[in-house]
Amino acid sequence: MGLKDFIIGAPKVEEPSVVAADLATLNTLDVLSAYMMTPITATRAEAMAVPTIARARNIICSSIASIPLELRNEDTGERLYAPRVIRQPDSRVPASSVWSFIVEDLLFYGYAYLQITELYADTGRIRNTQRVAPWRVSIETDTNAVEITGYRVDGYAVPNSGVGSLAVFYGMDEGLLNRAGRTIKAAFALERAATIYAQEPFPTMVLKSNDASLPADRIRQLLDAWKAARQTRATAFLNASVELQAVGFDPKNLQLAEAREQVSTELARAIGLPAYFTDSQTGQSMTYSNASLARQTLFDFSLRGIATAIEQRLSMPDFTPAGTSVRYALDNFLRGNAKERAEVYEILNRIGAMSVEEIRRDEDLLQ
């Protein structure tokens, strides 16, 4: 410390203030359903057991996680070198894995959490984090359940700021598991019914004894023998003492296939993903002529809300300096085929908007 610093005091390093998103107003009382364990809240296991949701989740999460995040100067639009925590939030795990599960958390739960494990000593900004699954997190609120006053992870209180605290990503609704819980549970029940009928593709059968009541071990032997015989031949023989009765309906009469297709379409609506992305509507497919617009449609109607939530949270002062913002680099994700790109580059070069070197850079042609 110099004499000047000793007399007037050393210059104070500007540190980011406590971020309001971490301790903030509870958006709606509906989000509490995840903590109250209401019957209409589905679980992640139930959701991922439904093929439509699993496919939609993988499309949305892998798409966003594969798009690079970049730091920009808000005044000039200049691209800056992004902090390591944005390029790799957890130094132990590839960034794509962390961001894909952050996207999933926002999609399923409406919240996502990164726990701060390291801060920069000079600025106090976040240097390293680790993802915390939303089901591990519980909230503490004021008496009116309006303001969040604290968080717990695995039942243990965590600090409200600094190392160990949570950086909270807010979604734009209460999450798919809460919002479409009934539909997910219906889809899960239909998948389970399909599994049962795949194992035994007949209506429920009852073997009725016309003689005296049989002991339990004799009944088990009879049922085992019946099951073994049906696996080798379709024709059965019963003597006069045993009668076969059918109870219930077969899959065709239950319209099981139609019900699964209907629920699949409803889930695509609930997720906000066009049904043809999950093959939920038979007879509709994506052709080469409209494939160039598919990624734009996907981003506009399915990815933009989650991407915006992540961009704006990472643009807050505990992650990035003032005057900068984080954006997804969408050029490669949304760009068309080689012919379309060449035509655009030719126009931009002719009007002086892009140089040959910039075109070569965007096409990864620089040596």
pLDDT digits (tens, 9 = 90+) for 23-43: 776 665 444 444 444 456 889
Facing residues of 2 across strands? none
> Ramachandran region of residue 154, left (φ > 0), alpha (ψ -120 to 50) or beta?
left
- pLDDT score at 312: 94
Identify the residue whose tokens are 């968080």: 151
* CATH of 204-247 among 3.20.20, 3.30.1120, 3.40.50, 3.10.20: 3.30.1120
Facing residues of 115 across strands? 130, 166
Cα gap 127→117, rounded to integer Å: 8
Q: Are 293 and 335 in contact (CB under 8 A)?
A: no
Q: Report helix angle 51-65 to 304-314, nearest 10.
A: 40
And the tokens for 174?
């209460």
Segments of the chain scoring below 50 in pLDDT: 1, 3-8, 10-20, 29-38, 249, 253-254, 283, 288-289
**Sign for the pseudo-dihedral over CA of 199, 204, 205, 208:** positive
- pLDDT score at 310: 95
Residue 299 CB-half CA count within 13 A: 19
Cα gap 59→306, rounded to integer Å: 13
- pLDDT score at 262: 79
The pTM assigned to this predicted structure is: 0.73
Cα gap 328→320, rounded to integer Å: 15
The C-alpha angle 320, 326, 92, rounded to 5 degrees, equals 70
The side-by-side arrangement of strands in the sheet containing 137-141 is 137-141, 148-153, 156-157
**Sign for the pseudo-dihedral over CA of 218, 220, 222, 228:** negative
Cα gap 284→76, rounded to integer Å: 44
